[in-house]
Structure 1
Amino acid sequence: MKIAILTLGTRGDVQPYAVLGKSLKARGHEVVLATAKNFRSLILSYGLDFTPVEADFQALLDSEEGRKIRKNPFLARKHLKRFVYPMLRDSLVKFYGLAQQSDKVLFHVKTMADNFADQFPGKMIRADVVPASQPTAAFPNPVFSALPLAGFLNRFTYRLTDLGLKMWAKPVREFRQRAGLPERFSKPALPAIYGISEYLLKKPVDFPENNHFTGFWMDGPHSELSQELIDFISAGEPPLLVTFGSMPFDSRLDIVGLIKALHLRLRVRIVVVKGWGLSDVSALEGDPGIKVVDSAPYDKLFPLVKAVVHHGGIGTVAACLRAGKPFLTCPVLYPLGDQFFWGKIAYEKGIALYPLPLKKLSADKFIKSIEELVGNETLYTHAELFASQLSSEDGLTNAAEIIESDGRT
């Protein structure tokens, strides 16, 4: 089959789809992945055909307009018309063209590709790693899970997403006009696959039968650790790993100073993966107990560290679970965003501390939490047991078999 994979967002919204695409290609399918042009090198490194779109959301998030949106998402609309609307409209045009040429189309909900699914519903499959679009009574919409709402309102929280989608009505209308499609349409009930392990989160009983939790979309080692990093890790006790992901964020707290204080007060060695949020780490340079790297393959790095402090993205959570490492999530998106959701679930499973949002972080809270993280043996026992369960799961094969059977089990 000729399979098109459509996705948009930051690295956490792109890499799982590249992994899935690589697996599908290995099974003999012709795979093209379409996403923002800034991910060209990442997609090509997985051996996939690449179709770029003019939708660099990482650059937008790091711009002045992006900073305003991050500070108050509810005021985002006035910043959208000039920057986001044109990107979305043009992306939909390119996505639609690929869909027309393909036998099967897998799409991330952020691509808004369901706005042309009425043209060929038989080839479209929603593919997500966060269950934020299908209403359920089992849990709140992950994006709004940190809000203090009673459980009986779980289904209502998914309507909040629908309200947000109304902001995109204009570029969707403009796209359909440009593509020669009727303005009035209804979205079909499509099959869906989620790169989520049921060991972590059970598929709700009220989900449609053609919605599937396949297991995490993770492959084997994709690149190697630098020798310099290996030498640092090997020079003493396994270090603590600190990373806040690929999304830019704002913090009133001196994160770099906090990392340095953590090292000095607890006498733990630390590896810092910079990401986008820690742009200036010059204060950490030259300290023999702290190693800073721009990036590193998690599948190789995580098994070598003691524990992990991270932002709570599902990809990083999955990497911790697979490596059998306990963790603390410090969500950079709060109270909106799915990072708190995953951190809380991991806490309830006994493999992580309760999430500590970056906005609520203080030096004392952070250091006390890390002290518990590195000293609580129960967390390590539970994390290792969880990893052994995950080892029996093959999310990529499960996903591929569903795709090949037209979204059925």
Structure 2
Amino acid sequence: MMNKQPINVARHLESGTSKNILLVTTGSYGDVFPFLAIAQELQIRGHRIILATNEIYRHIVEPEGIEFHAIRPDGYIDIEQVGQFIQLLSNSQQPLDYGISYLTMPHLRATYSDLVEVAHKADLLVTHPLACAATLVAEKMGIKRISTVLSPISFLSAYDSPYGSTTPSSDYEKALTLVAKDNFYRQLRWQTRFWSAPVRQLRAELDLQPSADLLFEGQHSSELVLALFSQVLATPQPDWPIQTQVTGFPFFTSRHRKGLPKELEDFLQQGPPPIVFTLGSLMVWAPGNFYFEGAIAAQQLGYRCVLLMGPGADSVTKEQLPPGACAIGYADHEAIFPQAAVIVHHGGVGTTAQALRAGRPMLVIPHAFDQPDNAARLVRKGVARMLERQHGSASQIAAELKPLLLDKSYAAKAAEVSRIVQAENGVVNACDAIENHLLLRSI
């Protein structure tokens, strides 16, 4: 049954039953950190772990004592394409098309080759939703595979959509809604049918039988699908794979975790909780006026603010910011978010997870990918408000922040949801499910 935690037979593993497990992921920090958390826990349990991801994350993985294996592309965004990608995010509605067609699929064969180098050691592959090459490796080499989903939108469920202001009241309206959603997803499949052409070509060259589209239903393992998010965001639906388990968020905490920068610590101690603005690790490269408009909005409301600006913080002087604004390159979300009055972010699932755990109200300004869907789910839970990116002027940001700051129901609901998220213990649930699956398959 979906989302029911199985009896943890894996707790009774005898000595000598450790497995070689290859985890494969790609993307931003929000894509890598859940896998790193799972790798840490599985290694503690005695398994031999290799985490395969882009070279840009070696400096994060290896200090945690996890064996790292580089796969191409070297970075999720090639350094030469950063400018083009930023321009796309600013001016286009098709960043996902660009990400798959230009940043992922051209490296499919290279990624496949990189994974073959280490896959022969593996008893199990655990794969990211976009790890098409890893799925092909598992099929070709006959290795067991567990797939993951990081955000609910990846299931493309006709039964589960946070959009719309009203819930269908009659069976007839519900049926019409399902038909409309199903038709939308069918159109999406048709419009994006060429995304997977390189996968189909490589399958043929590897003498593998045709299969479902690996970017859609084919991404899901027939054995076990781990939904690495909280039940707060979504619960199993009739059209999800029957083998799905919702684990909760697997939060990564570095063994070498440092405190907040001294400048930020001093700032926090000098006044009341600030409004925290962040765009995560990817959208921070395309901020537009997000930070400056946000700082002005905070000033208009009489609040201090913290701007987590990434590389942009180095080029901003205090004179360019209003009084009460502190610009920092990066701060651990786990440490800074609980100290915020409100968190303003883009809706990436990694940032969303940390904000939910912190229990603070949110203003979400989604940019691309899964972010609009995540934002709508947060609004539906009563913990957030949402503002479209093109409407992100200081006055509009201030108008959305005001109820979050004054209406106590947002803070109360955020605290309630935080207790749920913290109690889920996603990394333990995910690793229990992996071990249970391994053990049951070996019996």
Q: Common fold, TM-score beyond 0.5?
A: yes
Shift of 1:320: 1.2
Structure 2 CA distance for aligned equivalents of residues 192 and 101 of structure 1: 22
Alignment length (residue pairs): 398
Q: What residue ranges of structure 1 are gaps of 5+ in the alignment?
A: none
Write out aligned runs for 1:231-310 (5 A).
231-248=266-283, 254-275=289-310, 280-282=315-317, 289-310=324-345
CA contact (8 A) 1:24 1:31 kept: yes
Q: 1:347 to 1:161 in 2, by over 3 A?
A: same
CA contact (8 A) 1:247 1:277 kept: no
CA contact (8 A) 2:347 2:366 kept: yes
Shift of 1:349: 1.1
* Structure 1 counterpart SS, 2:264: helix
Shift of 1:287: 5.5
Q: 1:126 aligns with which of 128, 137, 147?
A: 147
- For the pair 1:226 / 2:261, whether they are aligned, the reply is yes
Equivalence for 1:344: 376
Write out aligned runs for 1:3-402 (5 A).
3-55=21-73, 56-59=75-78, 63-67=82-86, 69-70=88-89, 71-72=91-92, 74=94, 84-112=104-132, 113-119=134-140, 123-140=144-161, 150-159=177-186, 162-163=189-190, 166-172=193-199, 175-176=202-203, 181-182=206-207, 184-186=209-211, 189-220=222-253, 222-248=257-283, 254-275=289-310, 280-282=315-317, 289-333=324-368, 337-353=369-385, 355-402=386-433
CA contact (8 A) 1:7 1:14 kept: yes
Structure 1 residue identity aligned to 2:416? L
Shift of 1:78: 9.0
Superposed CA deviations along residues 52-93 of structure 1, whole A, max 9, x for unmatched, are 123112336953442465343659879987765442321122
Structure 1 residue identity aligned to 2:125? V
Q: 1:271 to 1:322 in 2, by over 3 A?
A: same
Structure 2 CA distance for aligned equivalents of residues 323 and 78 of structure 1: 33
CA contact (8 A) 1:253 1:361 kept: no
Structure 2 CA distance for aligned equivalents of residues 207 and 90 of structure 1: 31
Q: 1:277 to 1:352 in 2, by over 3 A?
A: farther
Q: 1:301 to 1:213 in 2, by over 3 A?
A: same
Shift of 1:265: 1.3
Shift of 1:321: 1.2
Structure 1 CA distance for aligned equivalents of residues 186 and 303 of structure 2: 45
Q: 1:269 to 1:4 in 2, by over 3 A?
A: same
CA contact (8 A) 1:275 1:294 kept: yes
Q: 1:5 to 1:163 in 2, by over 3 A?
A: farther
Superposed CA deviations along residues 277-320 of structure 1, whole A, max 9, x for unmatched, are 87853466675511111111111111111110000011111111
Superposed CA deviations along residues 7-66 of structure 1, whole A, max 9, x for unmatched, are 111222112211121121111111111111111112223321111123112336953442
Structure 1 residue identity aligned to 2:198? P
Shift of 1:119: 2.9
Q: 1:31 to 1:192 in 2, by over 3 A?
A: same
Shift of 1:239: 0.7
Percent identity over paired residues: 25
Structure 2 CA distance for aligned equivalents of residues 59 and 284 of structure 1: 33
Q: What TM-score does the superposition give when structure 1 sets the normalisation length?
A: 0.85
Q: What residue ranges of structure 2 are gaps of 5+ in the alignment?
A: 1-18, 165-175, 213-220
Superposed CA deviations along residues 239-291 of structure 1, whole A, max 9, x for unmatched, are 11001122247879633431332233112110111136878534666755111
Q: 1:284 to 1:159 in 2, by over 3 A?
A: farther
Structure 2 CA distance for aligned equivalents of residues 77 and 356 of structure 1: 23
Q: 1:7 to 1:79 in 2, by over 3 A?
A: closer
Q: What TM-score does the superposition give when structure 2 sets the normalisation length?
A: 0.79
CA contact (8 A) 2:86 2:286 kept: no
The structure, 1 or 2, with the larger RCO (C-alpha pairs under 8 Å, 6+ apart) is: 2
Structure 2 residue identity aligned to 1:345? R
Superposed CA deviations along residues 161-189 of structure 1, whole A, max 9, x for unmatched, are 64466434453356457xx6205432573
CA contact (8 A) 1:248 1:276 kept: no
* Structure 2 counterpart SS, 1:233: helix
Structure 2 CA distance for aligned equivalents of residues 160 and 266 of structure 1: 44
Structure 1 CA distance for aligned equivalents of residues 80 and 223 of structure 2: 30
Q: 1:238 to 1:347 in 2, by over 3 A?
A: same
